[in-house]
Amino acid sequence: MKLSSLLLGIVFAGVVIAVLLLVLGVRFHPTTSLQGAALYNSANEVTVKGVVTAVDEFACPVSEGELGSHLMLKTADGVLQIHLAPARVVHGQNLVFSPGDQLQVVGARVELFGKSGLIAQEITRGNESYIFRDHDGKLLMVQ
């Protein structure tokens, strides 16, 4: 009787711990080993021009697991996913990008989630320029 009570107690404790971890927001899915500025490689920096086809927000290693702002940019060479910054930063700066916007993006090439993309360092729209990161990938727009 005591052994079964002990096992039942261990199982119950495990369930309680798992529920607490889920409630506290611990993630159990694997992420890339590199995050944030560590993903930015200035040796891979390029400049592309294109038209925004979609705007999206999702958790991303570039935003260190936070909700990040992203654009899909149709270029002459295909569609690229543009990683901007954590959504809270983009919203805090009142930056709004829309499908149809024509942009020039300077950023480092990266392959994430099976999609070719750029981590934006600077974006130019018309005569407006937005600098997101320094040349080491460190986020400059902070909130």
Is residue 136 one of the residues assigned to a domain? no
Is residue 137 one of the residues assigned to a domain? no
pLDDT for 43 = 92
Residues 40 and 25 in one domain: no
Residues 71 and 6 in one domain: no
The strand pairing partners of 106, in sequence order, are: 47, 122
Range of the domain at 9: 1-30
Residue 113 has pLDDT above 90, yes or no: no
* Cβ burial 80-92 (10 Å sphere, 16+ → b, else e): bbbbbbbbebbee
Domain count, the chain: 2
pLDDT band (50, 70, 90) for residue 29: very low
Residues 64 and 105 in one domain: yes
Q: Which of 25-29, 78-82, 83-87, 128-132 has the lowest mean pLDDT?
A: 25-29
Residues 3 and 63 in one domain: no
Quick check: 67 and 87 in contact, CB under 8 A? yes
Is residue 92 one of the residues assigned to a domain? yes
pLDDT band (50, 70, 90) for residue 2: confident
Q: 4-27, pLDDT tens digit by residue?
A: 777 777 877 777 776 666 666 555
The verdict on pTM exceeding 0.75 is no
Cα separation, 121 vs 137, whole angstroms: 7
pLDDT band (50, 70, 90) for residue 30: very low
Residues 63 and 99 in one domain: yes
pLDDT for 28 = 47
Quick check: 70 and 87 in contact, CB under 8 A? no
Q: Is the dihedral of CA 35, 56, 106, 88 positive or negative?
A: negative
Residues 5 and 62 in one domain: no
